[in-house]
Structure 1
Amino acid sequence: MTGDQATAVTGEHVEVDVEVVGDVHLQARPQVPTRPVQIQSRPPLLFGREAVVRELRGRLTTGWRTVAGESLVVEGPQVGEMSPAGGAGQIGVPRVVVVHGLGGVGKTSVALEYAHRYLPDYQLVWQFPAEEPAVLSAAFGRLAALLGLGEAAQGADPVDQVHAALAARTEPWLVIFDNAPDADVLRPFLPPAGPGHVLVTSRSGNWPREQGMELPVLEPGAAAALVLARAEQEDARAAVEVAGELGALPLALEQAGAFMAETGLAIADYLDLLHRQRAELLAQGQAWGYREQVTTTWQLAFENVERSHRPAIALLRLLACYAHEAVPYHLLLSQLERRSALELFRADQRRRQVYGRAPLSRVRLLRQARRRLAAVLTMQELPRDAVAVNAAIGALRRHSLIGQPVDGAVPVHRLVQAVTMDQLPVRQQRRWREVAAVLLEGLLPDDPARPESWPRYALLLPHIRTALRAFSPGMDKAARYLGASGNHRTARALFMEICEALTATFGQEHPSTLTARHELARWTGELGDAEAARGQYAALLPVRERVQGPEHPDTLAVRHELARWTGELGDPAAARDLFAALVPDRERVLGAAHPDTVAARRQLARWAREAGGLSAGDS
């Protein structure tokens, strides 16, 4: 107290001397035993994280290490074992585990579940908001006041006060630093000593390997169970599909379930709406424990990357155009070290012309040229050399916008991809998709039937299906690879898509459309449906003859396949007659030694022998 009637209070521990001025008396204030606990409420639903919580417990508690010596100075936070009860002359080294991962993956929920589950084991449990250093410092001040440290060391930094108090404790404690930006920002705040555990959650992936514990998305079964529980419905099949569309991201699943619970929308209807209005739907619903929706949870990360590292945000936009499986970014971008963006687009234009996929009208050619020039400028935003590429990958990893790179490939969550593209105007989306397609087409070997090229096609197939249009040369190559490598069913399905796309784009009688129809019939037959294959070739033949002429090599190829499948259907005599008419035409057009002519003679011998028209010796 101050003023004319001031009372001075001095003392130590609970023995307090009171000096009285006037009639004012202050009695000694007794100490109250405290067990400081400040954590958010326990998550009501936490599907599929039991193994994660067990692993977290094991990493925090397995093994103990003590460091002896009165003169020991512990420099900074360390990962290691600690003494459960310091003891004289010993300093416990806190064990640190950092749960990191994509925004919305449930890092805080896991940390809270751990804290509530093992609360009885700790004499102090404190959760710090670690996103802003200023806010974090203020939170240390509140804990220091609760521990009664303010009067004991007036003017001292509250962070130092709390560190000293934690180091002096003999009972285990747990402190949680929630949503830490990165290791450098957090380092001054981590307790350097004491018998405790330090649990950090962060979106940044740049932590020491010994500390880091990356949290994946949920397993499919747990993700579907979460949707059912939050939506309070029982359509398990639709829940599995919703979980798949949302990439099993807990934030998205919670948000979807909350929206369905609030509106009464059936899970199947939500799925349909998600297909049609994804961007709008991802902004609806409030997930428990999250302040943000899917559409905003990564917004700050996007802005930080775009402001501080433009090549990194360009790379993210490129990665968003491919499948969510691991994208071979190193392979894709390596082309930019050898050739300019303009050279890559010119090479792509030549490919289109070779495959007959370039537009024929001048108006469409001019429109395509203007669009491609804009895409060339967009491609130039990408990092080109290895140092720049690795720097861009590092910037994206710091915000957990991409997964862990392995062998030059990196996975990207499908919702990160979706939100990245949805933020762009439609024209910019088209440009990035054009860039992605050109880079991908440039990696595809020219002969997909050669086994040496199959590993490359297998690596790129998910991205071909995602990034290329059905009428692109690369899609045609991929379908041929599938057929040649034995996947006849998928080859036929893909050529059906290609035929439809080419018909819609170039017309029914365009040479590219007719070639695709030929391939569709081929893989239909190889799949075992000889009757359908023969019917498709029979329908194709008169169109080939009218459009390209009766002696065009492509027309002769249709006649060859029609004769072959006629024989496969059980009519060797008819097959023999068709090949007998084909062989002289091929000899005249292609020459007697041409491989196609030789193949026709072999087929003639085969079916003549089966029909009884030739002896084995004549064949």
Structure 2
Amino acid sequence: MGRKDKQIADIHVEELPLSMRLRLARQQKGVSLTEMATRLGYSKGYLSGIENGNIRVTEDLLRRYAEILLIGQPELEGLLQLLHGPAARREVASWFVPYPRNAFFTGRDALLQEVHERLQTGGPGSRLLAITGLGGIGKTQIAIEYAYRYRQHYQAVLWLNGDSPEALLQSCVELAAHLDLPEYGARDHQDTVQALHQWFKEHPRCLLILDNVDNPADLHSFLLPPDNSYTLITTRHQVIGPLGQSFELLEMSPDESVQLLLRRAQMIAPTTALARIPDAMLTLAYEVARELAYLPLALTQAASYLEETGCGLASYLKLFREHRAEVLREHDSVASHYQFSVATTWKLSFERIQQAQPASSQILYLCAFLSPDRIYEEFVQQGIAHFNPELVALEENPLLLHRAIGELRRYSLIRTQPDSGALSIHRLVQAVIQDSMDEETRRAYAQRTVQAVNHAFPLVTVARWHETWSRCQRYYAQVEVCLRLIDRYQLASSEVSQLMSKAGHYLRERTQYRLAQQLYQRALDIDRQLYGDDHISVARDLGNLAQVYEDQLRLERAEQLYRQSISLQEKIGGATGVDVSLLKRYAHLLRKTGRAHEADQWWQRIGPYDADHALTRDVINDNDPRIIYHEEGHWSTRQHAGDFNNDAHFTETPGASFQCQFTGVGIEIISDTTIHTGEIKISIDDSCIHTTNTARFSVEKYTQTIVFSHTNLPSGPHTLKVVVINGSFVLDALAVFSFNGPIPTEEKNV
């Protein structure tokens, strides 16, 4: 099926070049390109080249256009002036941009203004700006639109193709020929480059656009205009060194994406506002844009498909979700100057990386199976050798890891987030990588990803609480991804069981008991499948389940599981082979159910094996009576699923305070930094210990954030007092550390 004639919006006609005016005039008269070619006796491809600006129109053909399209004499004279007039002759030398203006260019107004301001405000030696970003993100379209929109600010606007050193040399030859420089035919192309450099010296206030520069470092020894001109570079490489300024182009906003999709698909007029689009169409358009991750090239390809087939947004959405790989390989060769489809664009980058730096490709494959945002560098370092044992050197040597990451940044396939130093990857890049694998290979990489995450995700321990808790918070998004991979590929291994147990323990500590119970149960099922019923891993799983049932006050079921775990551990390792902490928890449960005599018997059994100085951590919830809130602080309560025990106290009153008496060697303050931030002063035993601003946690916002920890107190009773200096503050819970001095179970309110 052939593609429809590319439409041009009837806006800014006076700014359009002659070629696009001819196309617009033809479209306004309702004459198709095929009909026009038949009446003129030319091929359709030839006329398409003229209307795209790739073939120069002759005066005779221009007059024949006017005759067929009934163009009046005044308008014809204007077109002839564009073809032959003095202004046109001046423009021949001052304008060398090989692409017509994109009539469907959408949004990005603030970004274009920023480009202009950064170019114009840069002093001598800094009039170079590089637009960096992923292939298909819209870098070249930004450069084209900037050239047309701001051409009046420059004496000349000239364009070079920087795909490779060879392409750049050839482009210089073509530019020199356009400028009618005698050196354009020199055998040594470096003579041509020098002639161009001299031309720039003699013609100030020129804009040179170097498009798709493969390696900005090559430009040091090549062509850069002198300080009296301006240079705009587009490149995938995120690092351009001392060449000049740079900024990374990101995805379009959801609103811009929807406008581009619907306008390019000819489903709305170019001037139609979002508020005037029917709700049903708008909802579907936002879903399509979200699926395409707001990538301009993908949106353009989708719009071209919609225009060509007329299938409608709902059908396209279903098609994309069911046949994503094939859809991303679709190439809009007519409606876009872009040479490749989304999938092909990135596939070429993948192949180059594989050849240049195999370790980089493995990091990329790992990232392709992870949650795309906030992939922490230390997480990659801790897990990469378990993803691929051949990369153990990257785990041991951060320099090698940085080099491998740098190669990925060269192609903008991953992004480094300046606030946290974490890596991120575009969701469509992940999709293309996974879609390039057969099912067996995808399953193998999913298994390796689970192994890597299991190694990096820590077990929360009291001895290293702050460190392990913070890492669990940062890495838990990757655990959620792994759980989906485990379900999809029905993975069952010791690594899967271990990851579920560690994640269950973290969720239990967060009082997300239902989820913790599910993971503990799944770990038990896998271990029974792997080892049978009589194995130490099965005994530990039973103990974990017992604890989470106890947390939910399902004490009868908890007791059954405790007894099963203890009995199995005795069967495997004898009376001395039972975990002491398990025996303690069971004794506490007996006391909690009013069976003090039985509990004492178990404590007697524990006695010979109990550690003298075991560090314990006990949580005091925000509604515990030991926490006293001063009424003048206007403290309020809230119910929130992310809080410890799903509740918290908060205030927005400066001077608000609370205090708590506790016995132990340390204390933590647990808050929520997702929304509320403020400065607090912390005192222990009437002595100011610390002042902290919880806004410093704004880079990574979590519920149950530890905002203060002090574990070097003398053992004994203490009084904590916290005063809000400014802003707002949430008290979710306190945690008390002690040596063999847990808060009695019957007094705990958690």
Query: If the length of structure 2 is used for normalisation, what is the TM-score?
Result: 0.55
- Preserved CA contact (<8 Å) 1:131 1:180: yes
The whole-number CA distance in structure 1 between the counterparts of 2:294 and 2:253 is 7
The alignment status of 1:160 with 2:208, answered yes or no, reads no
- Preserved CA contact (<8 Å) 2:129 2:231: yes
Cα deviation, residue 106, structure 1: 0.8
The alignment status of 1:446 with 2:453, answered yes or no, reads no
Deviation readout 1:125-150 (Å, 9 max, x if unpaired): 22222213333323322332232322
The whole-number CA distance in structure 1 between the counterparts of 2:323 and 2:473 is 32
Secondary structure (helix, strand or coil) at the match of 2:112 reads helix
Deviation readout 1:442-478 (Å, 9 max, x if unpaired): 3333335634421111221222222454753234323
Secondary structure (helix, strand or coil) at the match of 1:472 reads helix
Indicate which of 475, 495, 498 corresponds to 1:473.
498
Give 2:671's aligned residue. Answer: none
Give 1:18's aligned residue. Answer: none
The alignment status of 1:53 with 2:85, answered yes or no, reads no
Matches within 5 A, 1:181-580: 181-193=214-226, 195-208=228-241, 210-230=244-264, 232=267, 234-265=280-311, 267=313, 270-271=316-317, 273-284=319-330, 286=332, 288-333=336-381, 379=391, 384-404=396-416, 409-447=422-460, 450-467=465-482, 469=486, 471-484=496-509, 486=510, 488-489=511-512, 492-493=514-515, 495-496=517-518, 499=521, 503=525, 506=528, 518=546, 521=549, 525=552, 534=554, 576=594, 579=595
Give 2:158's aligned residue. Answer: 126
Cα deviation, residue 254, structure 1: 2.7
Amino acid at match of 2:436: Q
Give identity over the alignment, percent: 27
Q: For residues 587 and 505 of structure 1, do their structure 2 counterparts lie closer, same or farther at Cα, with a shift above 3 Å needed?
A: closer
Query: How large is the Cα RMSD of the aligned pairs?
Result: 4.4
Deviation readout 1:61-108 (Å, 9 max, x if unpaired): 11554xxxxxxxxxxxxx33xxxxxxxxxxxxxx21111111111101
The whole-number CA distance in structure 2 between the counterparts of 1:520 and 1:270 is 46
Secondary structure (helix, strand or coil) at the match of 1:464 reads helix
Amino acid at match of 1:418: A
Secondary structure (helix, strand or coil) at the match of 1:299 reads helix
Q: For residues 542 and 265 of structure 1, do their structure 2 counterparts lie closer, same or farther at Cα, with a shift above 3 Å needed?
A: farther
The whole-number CA distance in structure 2 between the counterparts of 1:496 and 1:273 is 34
- Preserved CA contact (<8 Å) 2:382 2:456: no
The whole-number CA distance in structure 1 between the counterparts of 2:742 and 2:258 is 56
Deviation readout 1:193-229 (Å, 9 max, x if unpaired): 2643211111112302632222122334433544455
- Preserved CA contact (<8 Å) 1:102 1:401: yes
Give 1:96's aligned residue. Answer: 128
| Larger deviation, residues 598-607 vs 255-264 | 598-607
- Preserved CA contact (<8 Å) 1:448 1:480: no
The whole-number CA distance in structure 2 between the counterparts of 1:166 and 1:601 is 79
Structure of greater relative contact order (alpha carbons < 8 Å, 6+ residues apart): 1
Q: For residues 430 and 155 of structure 1, do their structure 2 counterparts lie closer, same or farther at Cα, with a shift above 3 Å needed?
A: closer
The whole-number CA distance in structure 2 between the counterparts of 1:104 and 1:288 is 11
Q: For residues 138 and 263 of structure 1, do their structure 2 counterparts lie closer, same or farther at Cα, with a shift above 3 Å needed?
A: same
Cα deviation, residue 439, structure 1: 3.4
- Preserved CA contact (<8 Å) 2:374 2:424: yes
- Preserved CA contact (<8 Å) 2:128 2:232: yes
Cα deviation, residue 429, structure 1: 3.6
- Preserved CA contact (<8 Å) 1:328 1:409: yes
Unpaired runs of at least 5, structure 1: 1-29, 66-78, 81-94, 346-374, 526-532, 565-574, 608-619
Give 2:101's aligned residue. Answer: 42
Query: If the length of structure 1 is used for normalisation, what is the TM-score?
Result: 0.66
Give 1:176's aligned residue. Answer: 209
The whole-number CA distance in structure 1 between the counterparts of 2:314 and 2:307 is 13
Deviation readout 1:290-314 (Å, 9 max, x if unpaired): 3222211112221111112222222
- Preserved CA contact (<8 Å) 2:140 2:234: yes
Cα deviation, residue 386, structure 1: 2.8
- Preserved CA contact (<8 Å) 1:331 1:408: no
Deviation readout 1:333-356 (Å, 9 max, x if unpaired): 2578xxxx6xxx6xxxxxxxxxxx
The whole-number CA distance in structure 2 between the counterparts of 1:263 and 1:459 is 45
Cα deviation, residue 185, structure 1: 3.0
- Preserved CA contact (<8 Å) 1:327 1:410: yes
Q: For residues 236 and 549 of structure 1, do their structure 2 counterparts lie closer, same or farther at Cα, with a shift above 3 Å needed?
A: farther
Indicate which of 175, 183, 187 corresponds to 1:143.
175
Give 1:361's aligned residue. Answer: none
The whole-number CA distance in structure 1 between the counterparts of 2:307 and 2:550 is 51
Amino acid at match of 2:112: V
Amino acid at match of 2:96: Q
Secondary structure (helix, strand or coil) at the match of 2:143 reads helix
- Preserved CA contact (<8 Å) 1:464 1:478: yes
Cα deviation, residue 238, structure 1: 4.7
- Preserved CA contact (<8 Å) 1:167 1:193: yes
The whole-number CA distance in structure 2 between the counterparts of 1:605 and 1:149 is 91
Amino acid at match of 1:321: F
- Preserved CA contact (<8 Å) 2:159 2:211: yes
Unpaired runs of at least 5, structure 2: 1-84, 268-277, 488-495, 571-577, 617-739
Give 1:19's aligned residue. Answer: none
Q: For residues 151 and 239 of structure 1, do their structure 2 counterparts lie closer, same or farther at Cα, with a shift above 3 Å needed?
A: closer
Secondary structure (helix, strand or coil) at the match of 2:251 reads coil
Amino acid at match of 1:62: T
The whole-number CA distance in structure 2 between the counterparts of 1:412 and 1:559 is 49
Amino acid at match of 1:476: S
Q: For residues 235 and 141 of structure 1, do their structure 2 counterparts lie closer, same or farther at Cα, with a shift above 3 Å needed?
A: same
The whole-number CA distance in structure 1 between the counterparts of 2:105 and 2:96 is 20
Q: For residues 240 and 455 of structure 1, do their structure 2 counterparts lie closer, same or farther at Cα, with a shift above 3 Å needed?
A: farther
Amino acid at match of 1:443: A
Cα deviation, residue 161, structure 1: 2.3
Cα deviation, residue 60, structure 1: 1.0
The whole-number CA distance in structure 2 between the counterparts of 1:152 and 1:321 is 50
Amino acid at match of 1:208: G
The whole-number CA distance in structure 2 between the counterparts of 1:128 and 1:390 is 32
The whole-number CA distance in structure 2 between the counterparts of 1:417 and 1:260 is 24
- Preserved CA contact (<8 Å) 1:321 1:433: yes
Amino acid at match of 1:50: D
